[in-house]
Chains A and B, each alone.
Chain A
C-alpha cells in the first residue's frame, strides 16, 4: 500500500513537470520572443537564420573522407549563396552538420535531432543508402524534404517517399549498365558476385548479378563479407575454385582494397575486379597499391559545364586548402543538393506582416520535387515524380599506373529499357 502511494506521487510529479511548459506556453503567448509556430509552417524571426541540416559519415568507418567532401561542398554552396544574394529576403542560410557515421541507428538519432530543430527546413543527405532509408522514414513523418548527394540505392526512390530526392544517379541504372558492360565488353563467361551486406553494396551487386544473368553470363551465387573483418581469403578461395572471369564487388573502398590484395594470394590474378562509385576514391589506390591495377570501377556522372566545374573546384580549393577530388566523388552532387534546396526556398519563402519569414513545409516539398532545368555543378538537374534529379550517365574507369583512366562505354549499353522507371 505504501509503495503504491509512493508511485502515485511520483507519477503525479512527472505529469505535472511534463505539462507545465505546455501550460505556460498556452497561457502566455505574447511573452515568448519566438514567433508562434503553426503546424506545417516554419516561421523565422528577423535576425535568425534558416537552417538546412546535413548528415554524413564524418568519422565513421565508411569513407569519412567522402563525407567531409560532401560537407565541404554543401558549406561552400551555402556560403556562396549568402555572400552573393545576401540570403533569402535577407535571412541567411545556415548549414547544421551532424555525423551519422553511415550507421542506420545513428542516422535515426540525427534525424530525430533535426526534426526537433524549429528553424530547420530541409536536409542535405544522408550520405549512405542504409542510413538514408532509416532517416527518410522520420523526415517523411515530420514533412522535412531531403536531397541526398550520394545515397544511390534503387529502393530509396521506389519506396514512394514524398520527401526524398537525390542529385545522384540510381544504382539500378548503374547496375543495369555495368551488368551489360560485363557481358558485352568484358565478354565474361563466369561472374562472381560479392557484397558487404550494406544497402548500397548489396543492392548494386544483386542488380548487376540479375542483369548479367539476363545477358547470358553464368553468375555464381552472391557471397557476402563482413566489413568488421579484414580476412576474406576463405570466401575468395571458394570463389577462385570456380575460376570466374570477373569478380563484381558491391561495397566501399576499404574492403575493396583488401579484396584486390587478397585475390592475388588465392590465385585470382586473371580475374578482373569490378566495383562502383563507393570504391572510386583515391584512398582505394593508396591502400591497395599495385594490387589495384586493372580494377574496373563505374561512376554515374552527367555531362557537365567545364567552366562551372573549374570555378567550383577553384573556390573549393581556396576555401578548404585541397582539391575536391582528393576527398571523394560527391562534391558536385552535394553542392547541387544544397543549391536545389535554396532554389526551392526562394520560391516558397514569404514575409508576413511582422517581418517574419514564413515557409510552408508542404510547398517546399513540392517545390524541390518540381525542380526543372537547374544548371548545377554536376549537370542539369531536373527532378522526376519519384525524386530522381540526376541526368547522369554511367562511366567506367580502369586503374592504370595508380590512376583512374576513363574507358569508353558503348552508347547502346546506356539505353534504359522500358522495364526501368
Chain B
C-alpha cells in the first residue's frame, strides 16, 4: 500500500516538474493562484467546521448546512440593503449612520464590564449600596461610555477622515456579518428542533434523510420568497475601489492582493481562534467535548445534553452565516442554490481533514481551496479538471487514510 502511495507521489511530482519546465508561469501567477486558494479555503474551512462540529457530537451529516449558509448570506444582503436604505445613499453614509448607534453602545458596554466584575468581588455589600449601584452608577457609567463613544466618532470624522472611513466601514461590515450569523443561528435552531431532535433516537440513516429533505425544503422556500433572480451585495468603497493593493516583490514582479480576500482570510482565522477558545477554554466547550466523547456518561455527570447539542448547531451556523456573508462581500451573487456547491465542497473538506476533528476541518478547508486553485495549472490541465483533481485527491487520501488527514484520534470509536 505504501509503495503504491510513494509511486503516486513520484508520478505527481514528475508531472508537475514536466509542466513547470515546459510552460513556465511567472512567480506572480503562482502567488496569485495561491492567494485565491487561500481565500476560498478560508470560506470552505468555516463551513466545514459546522459539518464537523455536528458530526462530532451527533454522528450525523447535517446536509442542510449549505442552506443555512445561504440564508445567512441572504440576511446579510438585506442587512446591507438596510444600511444603504435600499440604495438611497452610499454604503459609507449608511455605515456612518449605523456606527453612531453601534460604536457608542460598544464603548458603553466596555465601560460597564470591568466595573461589574470588580463589584462582584465585594460580597459584603449592603442592599442599599447595591441598589444605588444597579440603578444609578451602572447606567451612569453606561451613559458616560455612550458619550465617549459618540465623541470619538465625531472627533474622528472631523480630525481624521480617512481613519473615520475605516472605522465606519469596519463597523458597517461587521454589522452585516453579525446579522448574517444571527439569522443562520436562528435557522439552525429551528432546524434542530423540527427536523433533527424528534429523530434523535432513530437509526442513523433517518436524520440523514431528514437533513436532505430540510436542505431541499429550505432551497425551495428561498426560491419562492426571494425569486429566481440573483442578487449582488453592495460593495463598500474601501474594499472595492480599487479592488486590489499591490505588493512590489522587486525582481519577481508586482503581486496584486485582493482587499476583500485579505479581509476574509483574517476574519475567518479570527473566528476559528474564537471557536477554538470556546471549545477548549469555556465551560460549555468542555461540556461539548464531554458529550462528543460519551453522551450517556456526560448526561450522568449533570450535563444538559440537549442544550449542548443546540449550542453546537448554533456555533456551526454562526460560522456558516459569516462564511455566506463573506462570499457575498467577495462578489458572489445570491440565489437559492447558492449554498449547494460550497456546502458540498466544505463537506468534502471536512472529510478530507477527518470529520469530527476541528483542526482537521480547518486544515481540510484550506487544503481543498488551494488544491482547487493550483491543481489544474500544476498538472497542466484545462480548468475543466479542477473538480476532478480535487475529488480524486479526496479519494486517494481516503484510500490511504480512511479517517482523513488528521482524523486519527476520533476515528476508532465512531465507526
Contact = CB atoms under 8 A, between A and B. Distances in A.
B387 A267 contact: no
A257 B235 CA distance: 14
Interface string A45-73: 00000000000000111001100000000
Contacts of B52: none
Contact of A237 (B29, B242, B331, B335): B29
B376 A234 contact: yes
Contact of A61 (B244, B337, B376, B387): B337
B186 interface: no
A265 B243 contact: yes
Given A230-B332, A266-B256, A225 B383 contact: yes
A226 interface: yes
A224 B335 CA distance: 22
Chain A: number of interface residues, binned into ranges: 35 or more
A228 B332 contact: no
B36 A234 contact: yes
Interface in B353-379: 372-374, 376-377
A235 B229 contact: no
B78 to A, nearest CB: 17
A223 B36 contact: no
Contact of B228 (A60, A197, A228, A241): A60
B337 A283 contact: no
B333 A59 contact: no
A238 B382 CA distance: 10
A258 B244 contact: no
Given A221-B382, A224-B383, A241 B29 contact: yes
Describe A's contact surface by its main secondary structure.
Answer: helix
B229 A241 contact: no
A393 interface: no
A265 B383 contact: no
B307 to A, nearest CB: 37
Nearest to A59: B228
A289 B90 CA distance: 14
Contacts of A241: 25-26, 29
B143 to A, nearest CB: 42
Interface string A210-231: 0000000000010111101111
Contact of A238 (B256, B377, B384): B377
B340 interface: yes
A229 B228 contact: no
A229 B243 contact: no
B327 interface: yes
B258 interface: yes
A287 interface: yes
Contacts of A225: 383
Interface string B241-257: 01110000000000010
A229 B341 contact: yes
B223 interface: yes
Contact of B384 (A224, A237, A262): A224
Interface in A191-250: 197, 221, 223-226, 228-231, 233-235, 237-238, 240-241
B256 A254 contact: no
B141 interface: no
Contacts of A224: 382-384
- Highest count of chain B CB atoms <10 Å: which of A224, A226, A230, A240: A230
B256 A283 contact: no
Which 6 pairs, one residue from A and one from B, show the smallest C-beta to C-beta distance? A235-B383, A230-B332, A64-B228, A234-B373, A241-B29, A233-B36
Interface of A: 59-61, 64-65, 197, 221, 223-226, 228-231, 233-235, 237-238, 240-241, 254, 257-258, 261-262, 264-267, 283, 286-287, 289
Interface of B: 25-26, 29, 32-33, 36-37, 40, 223, 228-230, 232, 242-244, 256, 258, 327, 331-333, 335, 337, 340-341, 372-374, 376-377, 382-384, 386-387
22 contacts: A59-B228, A64-B228, A197-B384, A223-B383, A224-B383, A228-B340, A229-B341, A234-B36, A234-B372, A234-B377, A234-B386, A235-B376, A237-B29, A238-B29, A240-B29, A241-B25, A241-B29, A257-B232, A265-B243, A266-B32, A283-B229, A289-B232
